């Protein structure tokens, strides 16, 4: 995974997406091995709602996101992969926004802020650079 960094397409966006994939792998492992650890810190306003099952489901979603992001980082010209990856960030951003505003399960500022910022940054950057990568 790390040896491929030199093969990334030009520009900062593929590197940012690759880094997001790497952090997603870390989060997936953490959610599987310590399901009540970091997940309860993220959803700190309602930690009793975090169960091992919900953490494992979160891990599965995050693993899928990591795969999408990794493949997209190396295939930025693939329109379908680019768009699916873009929408994965939209879903993640919408999820965390709803947890902040509607369900009030997360505390701001808190650990969710970095994840939310990655989603928003990715959405804006992918929208801005789409024409560059998708010919």
pLDDT of residue 3: 57
* Dihedral in degrees, nearest 10, Cα atoms 63, 61, 111, 91: 120
Give Cα 1 distance to the centre of its chain. Answer: 17
Q: What is the 8-class DSSP label of residue 9?
A: P
d(CA 132, CA 20): 20
Positions of the chain with pLDDT under 50: none
* Dihedral in degrees, nearest 10, Cα atoms 89, 126, 86, 123: 30
Q: What is the pLDDT of residues 15-28, one digit of tens each?
A: 999 999 999 999 99
pLDDT of residue 38: 86
Instruction: Specify the pTM.
Output: 0.92
């Amino acid at each position: 995974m790390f040896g491929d960094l030199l093969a990334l397409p030009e520009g900062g966006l593929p590197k940012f997406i690759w880094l997001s994939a790497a952090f997603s792998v870390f989060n997936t492992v953490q959610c599987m091995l310590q399901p009540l650890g970091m997940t309860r810190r993220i959803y700190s306003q309602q930690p009793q709602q975090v169960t091992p099952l919900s953490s494992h489901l979160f891990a599965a979603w995050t693993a899928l996101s990591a795969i999408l992001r990794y493949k997209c980082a190396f295939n930025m010209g693939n329109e379908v992969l680019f768009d699916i990856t873009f929408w994965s960030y939209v879903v993640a951003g919408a999820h965390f926004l709803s947890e902040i505003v509607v369900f009030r399960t997360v505390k701001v500022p808190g650990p969710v802020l970095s994840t939310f910022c990655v989603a928003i940054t990715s959405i804006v950057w992918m929208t801005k650079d789409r024409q560059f990568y998708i010919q």
